[in-house]
Amino acid sequence: MHTTTVTKPLHVAVVGCGMIASTVHIPLLARNPNLRLAWLCDVQEEPLRRLAAQYDVQHVTTDYLDLLKDPTVDMVVLATTHTLRVEFIEQAARYGKPVYVEKPMAGTLPDIARILQVVRESGIPFCVGHNRRSAPAILEACAILERHRANPAITPWRLDRNSHLRPPMPEEGETMVLLRVNDDYLTWKPWSFAEGMLLCEMPHFLDLANLFIAREPRRVFAMGSTRLNFTILVEYDDGSIATLTDSGAGTLDYPKELVEITHRGAMIAIDHCLEIRTAGIEGEPFRRTFPSLDTRVKTDKAGIEYFYEAAQQTIAERLRTGDHEIFLGFPDKGHYAHFDRFAACIRGEGETPCDAESAAQATVLTLKALESCRLGMPVRVGPEELHPIVM
């Protein structure tokens, strides 16, 4: 349950009313008492009229300049295809409008550089929709990892056979991240296969790897099909490594996301944003659970057992009704809180939950992974690509 402190609502405009906007962003914005849906914009008029009527939105347009010219608009959510983002962000900056943009932030390295330049020069509040940064389970995992980094003591129950003989191991300071994504391509819209799951989904997970490792990436090696099944290795400047494995040939009645982090004798596992398991850190409980946003599931189970029960209820309900749109047991992946934190940033009450610089790093890695997969070899990630200077 979210406990948002209600203030004067910010007026929000949404540009692009496709699947992610209509099923996630618009419903969440309409439910948030700190935000008020004021404008909807799309090139297709039918979804505009339908969504405006459904959510009682006063203004609709097929030209985004109309909403940018409205002085009452406090925040713009950009949910168009990534190929249209640079021009819009440039225009929004000219009108001084804060921008929340869906991932990937851009589709080319020059576009990334241009967006960074516009955001730096204009100073507009800016946020990219890497919403897992605002998920309760991810925030707690980050806090656990930081506490361990600050005090990486060897726990008394570990077996240390040669403590007096071995030299310090530099590899102990590296962070290893293993991230597995189980997806089902049947749930994807047909247009997504032209871009592939690597471009559509991996910015989220490469951003998580960057968040946990907190070092500069230096090399990427990807293999497989960018459309469906692939593995990505990212090497960082301190020797840390992230391994990301994604399969679109899976099934969503099994948990989608598992992250395992090892560092200086500790293991932190985040299971589908519903549960954290911790080992090797004295004073930390083995298991923490996090509530789902779905109130329809009938169970007293928590954590990942909650998901298993929800999945079985989903299967039973689909077989009973034939309605394959039903899915029970959604974890809290931070969508609502990400909007809330960005709204606070616009009010001057905190930092953006995902700034342009952080998002650029994840997007660069995504594009480098695409390049590596097509070339069949590792590719370098240079500081000039992570921190471009555009004259």
Reported as a single tens digit per residue, the pLDDT across 204-223 is 999 999 999 999 999 999 99
* 145 and 113 inside one domain: no
* 104 and 147 inside one domain: no
DSSP H or E stretch at residue 141:
helix 136-150
Token look-up 């020069």 returns 121
Predicted pLDDT of residue 46 = 87
Could you give the number of structural domains in the chain?
2
pTM for this entry: 0.93
Show Cβ contacts of residue 80 under 8 Å, excluding neighbours closer than 6 positions: 15, 16, 18, 88, 102
- Min mean pLDDT across 4-18, 36-50, 237-251, 365-379 is at 4-18
* 175 and 102 inside one domain: no
* 26 and 55 inside one domain: yes
At 132-167, the pLDDT tens digits run 999 999 999 999 999 999 999 888 888 887 776 777
* 229 and 339 inside one domain: yes
Range of the domain at 141: 133-152+171-352+361-385
Predicted confidence (pLDDT) at residue 42 exceeds the cutoff of 90: yes
Section 307-320 average pLDDT: 95
Predicted pLDDT of residue 1 = 47
* 111 and 142 inside one domain: no
At 322-350, the pLDDT tens digits run 998 888 999 999 999 999 999 999 999 99
Beta strand spans in 280-389 (E): 287-289, 379-380
At 83-136, the pLDDT tens digits run 888 999 999 999 999 999 999 999 999 999 999 999 999 999 999 999 999 999
